Amino acid sequence: MSALRRKFGDDYQVVTTSSSGSGLQPQGPGQGPQQQQLVPKKKRQRFVDKNGRCNVQHGNLGSETSRYLSDLFTTLVDLKWRWNLFIFILTYTVAWLFMASMWWVIAYTRGDLNKAHVGNYTPCVANVYNFPSAFLFFIETEATIGYGYRYITDKCPEGIILFLFQSILGSIVDAFLIGCMFIKMSQPKKRAETLMFSEHAVISMRDGKLTLMFRVGNLRNSHMVSAQIRCKLLKSRQTPEGEFLPLDQLELDVGFSTGADQLFLVSPLTICHVIDAKSPFYDLSQRSMQTEQFEIVVILEGIVETTGEFPQLNLDQKFFKKKISSFSALL
């Protein structure tokens, strides 16, 4: 069979077909290029990535997207940083240009732009001759700079009303946007970067029982208060009634009944799940463990001692054939 010209990498492996057609075999170092065939490795999509990000996309929402606008504050907090900064800059820029335009309109309708240099004339806002000077007056007022060169006079009731509206609008915009940025900066997501899980989980004998084990540790000296760990098994199954459940969630007992799920993370700890009659892995053999498709999602929650925030770290352990070799013992 002629070789397929594809780039080599992690996505492909080199195999050969025997002359009898009995199956696929790895290519040896002395075999010619005419026997090469590139077969793509089958990739499996994770439900939860190693960094805790859930690979879930909502589709067919239709008119339900308006619900995101009803909770606008949470929607802004959940956005990425680049969109937060863009909305932050855009909102202030539009608000400043709008209010500066309102001051310029008042000066234009009163004729202050043409009479500003007249000695005995009292304008609405002193020393406002054009739009840039109106914009500078608004910035000086809004930022409470007050250089004293531009100021509002008592001969302009509409200017006083606009000044009150400007103060109220500025307070609302500041509270909303600055509050959103503060909440986003104080989120404890980065704290989860210093909470480490073991690369692989293992199945081995401990205290005479077959046990699924992995380790977790805290890199910082500050403690995690009320740290608690939970494990979820995600797999598809079919009910006796014929209903197919693509993501059925089962709880893995990691010490809930004994309180072992409450962690004191001053040093790395080994988390254990005993494979007994109540375990979802009880009916799995070594062969079925190699072919079964499932994910184990580990959730670690606690309170940051320094800030009082609640970080949450999700770790996905997905077991396939190449990870079975890391098990100390199999069913």
In order along its 331 residues, the chain shows pLDDT tens digits of 333 333 333 433 333 333 344 433 444 444 444 444 444 445 567 777 766 677 777 676 666 667 777 788 888 888 888 998 999 999 999 999 999 999 999 988 888 887 766 777 788 888 888 899 889 988 888 887 777 788 888 888 888 899 899 999 989 999 988 888 888 887 767 777 778 888 888 888 988 888 989 998 888 877 777 888 888 888 888 888 888 988 888 888 888 888 888 888 888 889 999 988 888 888 887 777 777 788 888 888 888 776 666 555 555 544 332 333 333 333 3
Q: What is residue 89's predicted lDDT score, i.e. its pLDDT?
A: 92
d(CA 128, CA 149): 10
Q: What is residue 165's predicted lDDT score, i.e. its pLDDT?
A: 92
Asked if 79-184 and 190-325 have one fold, the answer is no
Q: Which residue in 314, 293, 312 sits closest to 303, CA to CA?
A: 312
Task: Give the max Cα distance, the chain.
Answer: 108
> Is residue 175 classed as helix, strand or coil in its secondary structure?
helix
Kindly provide the b/e burial profile for residues 110-131, where b requires at least 16 CB atoms within 10 angstroms of the residue's own CB.
Answer: bebbeebeeeeeebbbeebeeb
Q: What is residue 28's predicted lDDT score, i.e. its pLDDT?
A: 45
d(CA 127, CA 104): 12
> Are residues 272 and 212 in contact, defined by beta-carbon separation less than 8 angstroms?
yes
Q: Which residue in 196, 235, 197 sits closest to 47, CA to CA?
A: 235
Tokens of 259: 């309180």
Q: What is residue 74's predicted lDDT score, i.e. its pLDDT?
A: 85
Tokens of 206: 């401990």
Q: Which residue in 125, 154, 157, 156 sits closest to 138, CA to CA?
A: 125
Tokens of 6: 């594809």
- At the topology level, CATH places domain 79-184 in Helix Hairpins (1.10.287)
Q: Where are the domains of the chain?
A: 79-184, 190-325
Which architecture characterizes domain 190-325 according to CATH? Sandwich (2.60)
Residue type, 116: A
Quick one: which H or E segment has residue 169?
A: helix 157-185
Burial class (CB in 10 A: 0-12, 13-18, 19+), 241: exposed
Tokens of 186: 């104080």
Phi/psi region, residue 207 (left: phi>0; alpha: psi -120 to 50; beta: rest), is left
Q: In sequence order, what DSSP letters do the residues of 231-294 get, joined into one string?
A: EEEEEEEE-TTS-EEEEEEEEE-SSTTTTTTEE-TTS-EEEEEE-STTSTTTT--HHHHHH---
Burial class (CB in 10 A: 0-12, 13-18, 19+), 186: exposed
205 forms beta bridges with 210
Distances (CA, A) of 189 to 185, 199, 226, 309: 9, 20, 17, 10
d(CA 158, CA 107): 10
d(CA 212, CA 327): 9
